[in-house]
A and B are shown apart, each in its own frame.
Chain A
Amino acid sequence: MNIRSQGILLVAVLVVVGALWVGLPGQGSAPEVARTEDGRPNLNGIWQALAFSANWNIEPHSAEAGPRPEIMGAYGAQPGGQGIVEGGAIPYKPEALAKREANFKNRMTPKITNDPSRFDYGDPELQCFRPGVPRANYMPFPFQIFQDQNQMLFVYEYKWAMRQIHIDPQMEAPVDSWMGWSNGKWDGDTLVVDVTGFNGYSWFDRAGNYATSALHVVERWTPQGPNHMLYEATIEDANVFTRPWKISFPVYRRIEPNVQLIEFNCVPFVEQLMYDPLGLYFPPGTRPDGE
């Protein structure tokens, strides 16, 4: 994002913050919301959450040095954030909390092998894996919603990850996946998306917060005006949480003229990280630094 577009985004945010101030809670009718031919809120467009410090940690957190501060300095530092978890803390079972801590400790040490257990190591984001749901929605990248009556398509700039929302017909998840299987329905002006069929490998953030394949996410996308939505998600996973819990944050429309998603195909960006330790990127004796 260049400085100009950041400026425009900031203006958009200020406008939206103003609208929030006046309009909250704004449930139910929102007369200025654009509508499709079938009378539903028209969610077509490019959207972005500004709660993206949540991608560092969805719980409240202070600013901290990031990983590898000796080379990354302020570039790699973690901004503080008030979090997006209702009540401030995820209700982990005690043993699950220990796994979260281990995840955090190992977040920068992916263990790449030709064995499926590789997923147990390191933050999936670091390795350019699909982010899963809900994480895709608050990563520091925009995403685009394509809305048709019976099916919707979400394309996330990060990794170009995509998910289809099945409205009619709805289907059970045919196979476990990173992004899960999404069935949608309208509850008034709220798009309610039921997401199941996760493979259990995705994390919520860089802090190691996680769930298992029993994860069940129910998202509620509620327009609050023409240019912002309230995003809420209820998160259940009896394997790791003592009860369902909730996250919420606003999502803003990107209103710059001609704004579009700019490819972020991160696979080439992680090949050295992932394959160099195996001698597959710089085979022995071929490193440019002579090692």
Chain B
Amino acid sequence: MRIPIVRRVVGGTVAAVAAASAAVLMAQAPKPSLNLNDTDSAIKAAADAAKREAAVKDYTSPKTAWGDPDLRGVYLTATYTPLQRPPELKDKPLYTEEEAVAAFKRAVEADAEVDPRTVHYDWKEYSMDAWQGGARPSLRTSLVVDPPDGRLPALTPEAQQRREMAAAAAKKRNPAAGIQTFGNTYTRCVLGLGIAPLMRGGNPGSESAAAAAGVTAEVQIFQSPGFVTLVHQSNNDVRIIPLDGRPHLPQQIRHWYGDSRGRWEGNTLVVETINWKDRAPGVGFQGSTDALTLVERFTRIAPNTMRYEYTMTDPKTWTRPWSVDSEMPKVEPNLIYEFACHEQNYGVINVVRGTQIREREALAAGRPAGGRPGGGGE
């Protein structure tokens, strides 16, 4: 169970999240007013913020006391820009400013619209919709900028086969319908949402993992001499990035968060992450495997904006690398709350138990398998 704590956003109202406790609590004084329904004001504030930040040219980030570019702060990883370009925008990589605001407005209004018959949580009630958390309009029609059509490249034959086998397994009733079948890394509290890469593309209307990415979508960039550390609100996942040029871990050592090494290229932090843990029978983001090389680039391009680019290279999954170019707004306050997910994960108990009951009912009635319940995750 995730319970929100109110978070203020630079230049606006708004909200975010903490974790796993019993009551809705206000974190900060002065107490901000909750914006549950006023989408118009939020859209205007977001458009103004986007315009203001975009007007900043040739920005050079300040330096830390030890001389590194200063990237410190909490950034929002939620966005309404989809990962892949919608087919109807095939030859249009960029919106005009007016089109961008109009697309943002449509997305916000759809997000704020909740049908209680189809959702378990109305995130808006917790001020956890992306528009309440500081998301901004973007000129880009997709996060993916390479391939130039804004779409993911073709899968390798190996990956196609993997996907077909997974689809076939999902249709077949699995008698071992336990937590590892019906849970995923997120519902099992093994991993939070959006650990690496950080920006995954927008809700609504996308598949569940991305839809949920608007929730607890804050990451703190913590800097200290020789290190950049990413502290995630979601599941309190932490990625430690040494900057001292040391070699990667031996390949026998595998991490859920991978093994990251960083370096500065001018004012840009470049992070390479390998040594991913094999998540079979699950997979990583967009079906990636333990062979993934993730290269991320962080550049502070305005006082409250982080440009975030990444390239995914996984020869077991895609026929060529693909890249994203995106922006993360800075939000306040500069801290992360405890997210004790596994410590009271009654959600997974209820989900798995409920699914087992449904499966038995379906079996008795001779109906086909019902598929997998979700709640997000890779």
Q: Is A263 an interface residue (CB 8 A)?
A: yes
Q: Is A38 an interface residue (CB 8 A)?
A: yes
Binds A, one of B103-111, B229-237, B291-299: B229-237
Is the beta-carbon distance between A44 and B225 smaller than 8 angstroms? yes
Question: A residues within 8 A CB of B177?
Answer: 283
| With A114-B350, A148-B72, A282-B178: A129-B5 Cβ-Cβ less than 8 Å | no
Give min CB distance, B153 to chain A, whole Å: 30
Give Cα A278–Cα B227 distance, bound, in whole angstroms.
Answer: 43
Residue among A176, A263, A278 making CB contact with B255, cutoff 8 Å = A263
Interface of A is mostly: loop
Q: Is A31 an interface residue (CB 8 A)?
A: no
Residue among B26, B66, B191, B349 making CB contact with A280, cutoff 8 Å = B349
Question: B residues within 8 A CB of A201?
Answer: 343
Binds A, one of B126-134, B137-145, B238-246, B307-315: B238-246
Q: Is A238 an interface residue (CB 8 A)?
A: no
Is the beta-carbon distance between A146 and B65 smaller than 8 angstroms? no
Is the beta-carbon distance between B222 and A153 smaller than 8 angstroms? yes
Residues 127-143 of chain A: 1 if any B CB is under 8 Å from the residue's CB, otherwise 0? 01110000000000000
Residues 253-291 of chain A: 1 if any B CB is under 8 Å from the residue's CB, otherwise 0? 000001011110101100100010011111101100000
Q: Is A37 an interface residue (CB 8 A)?
A: yes
Question: B residues within 8 A CB of A268?
Answer: 188, 190
| With A146-B229, A271-B188: A36-B65 Cβ-Cβ less than 8 Å | yes
* CB within 8 Å of A: which B242-257 residues: 242, 246-247, 249, 253, 255-257
Is the beta-carbon distance between B65 and A174 smaller than 8 angstroms? no
Is the beta-carbon distance between B342 and A258 smaller than 8 angstroms? no
Residue among A38, A178, A262 making CB contact with B253, cutoff 8 Å = A262
Q: Is A3 an interface residue (CB 8 A)?
A: no
Q: Is A94 an interface residue (CB 8 A)?
A: no
Binding site for A on B (CB under 8 A): 5, 18, 21-22, 25-28, 64-66, 72, 175-180, 188-191, 222-227, 229, 231, 236-238, 240, 242, 246-247, 249, 253, 255-257, 334-338, 340, 342-344, 346, 348-350, 352-353, 356
